[in-house]
Each structure stands twice: as C-alpha cells, then as structure tokens.
Chains A and B, each alone.
Chain A
Amino acid sequence: DTGVSQDPRHKITKRGQNVTFRCDPISEHNRLYWYRQTLGQGPEFLTYFQNEAQLEKSRLLSDRFSAERPKGSFSTLEIQRTEQGDSAMYLCASSGLAEDNEQFFGPGTRLTVL
C-alpha cells in the first residue's frame, strides 16, 4: 500500500499523560500536513511541513503540541499533558509541490482522553 499511513489507529489515555502519533506520507510527497477533526466538523488545519521545515502552525496548536519531521520523511505529533478537549481524530495528509495541492489523507489516529 503506497498511501499515507498513521500509527496508532486508536489511542486511549488518561488526562495528563503524553501521547505521540506517527505519520508516514506518500513516499514522493514533499509536503506533510496535520489536521484535527471533531464530531460533526470538518478537519481543522494544525501545521504543515515542506521537507523537514515546519512552515506554518495554526493558533489551534497550543504549546502542549509539538510536531517534527526530522528527515523530511515521516512525522510525529506529540501532545503533552493531554486534556479531555484534545479528544479528536488526528489526520495526516501529504501532497506534492505542484500548485494544485491535492492532499491525500491517512486513516487517522482517534484519540480519547479520559
């Protein structure tokens, strides 16, 4: 399968714990994006990378959130001191450098904070 993959698919954690998610983009894609989606809403942009450079972060990304893409391939999203409001589906997408910006999404990581 050459699509975007994410791990884990589900994560249940207790409030205050740290969690880390991984995303592997489509191999030839230079851009990688993180979005968050809650029930009844569309995905909301969190941050994006072009190769290893993090080029934009949303105001939604509080200082408890950090994302990395150290070698320009896979990316990790870490949430520290999780809160119940962090419960959501975390989606990763990737795209090439073309201006059409077609983004392809991975299956997501569903986070539940108890």
Chain B
Amino acid sequence: RKEVEQDPGPFNVPEGATVAFNCTYSNSASQSFFWYRQDCRKEPKLLMSVYSSGNEDGRFTAQLNRASQYISLLIRDSKLSDSATYLCARSNDYKLSFGAGTTVTVRA
C-alpha cells in the first residue's frame, strides 16, 4: 500500500461550484500534512499546511481526520484559475511523501 493515496479524479466542475476530495495516509505517526497545487509542467506550490484538525484559507478548507487517517480539501466558489492538480503530502522525518494528485478542471 502506498504511503499516501489520493482520489485521482478528474473532477470536472462548473464555475462557482464546490468541490471536495480526499487523501488517505498509512502512517499514523505523521504530524504534518500539506496540500500543494501543481499546474501542468510546473513545480508544486504550497497551498495549505495542516497541523491540527484543519485549516481554512479563503475559499479553501482542509480537514484532518486522524482517527480515519485522511485529509480532505474543499474548494468553494470554484474559479477557472483553480484548474490544476492538487497534491497531498505528509511529512515523515523531514522528507515529504506525496500522493499521485487529484486533477480538478473548472469549466465556464
């Protein structure tokens, strides 16, 4: 089993919609989690850090469920510019373990 697994998508949503997807992890000792956004052929850019039960930043909300070992990302009021691949990562002894990403496409 991979250390971090993600809902691969693709999620195809209209502008203004809410979209949510999950990421599960296998190491219960993990303390820090992150969501990165990656555009095609670009580097991952840090979107949110998740240390406790969750985090909110504008239209983006991340929830951490330690009992069930998953993290979710919710995007409200989707914009065309939100179209990207969203990578979930957990920190383990300083290195990051990533999922394969969830692709989101927001259509006009």
Q: Which of B34-56 contact A (CB under 8 A)?
A: 34, 36, 41-46, 49, 51
Q: How many residues of B contact A (CB 8 A)?
A: 25
Q: A40-B100, A101-B32, A107-B43 are in contact. Are A33 and B89 (CB under 8 A)?
A: no
The reply to whether A33 and B100 form a contact with Cβ atoms under 8 Å apart is: no
The reply to whether B34 and A102 form a contact with Cβ atoms under 8 Å apart is: yes
Q: Please, what's the 1-or-0 string for A94-114, where 1 marks a CB less than 8 Å from any CB in chain B?
A: 010001111111111010000
A45 at the interface (CB under 8 A from B): yes
Q: Which of B11-60 contact A (CB under 8 A)?
A: 31-32, 34, 36, 41-46, 49, 51
- Give me the 10 closest cross-chain CB pairs, A-B, nearest first: A42-B98, A105-B43, A45-B95, A101-B91, A43-B98, A105-B44, A107-B43, A42-B87, A108-B43, A42-B100
Chain A residues with a Cβ under 8 A of chain B? 31, 33, 35, 40-45, 48, 55-56, 58, 91, 93, 95, 99-108, 110
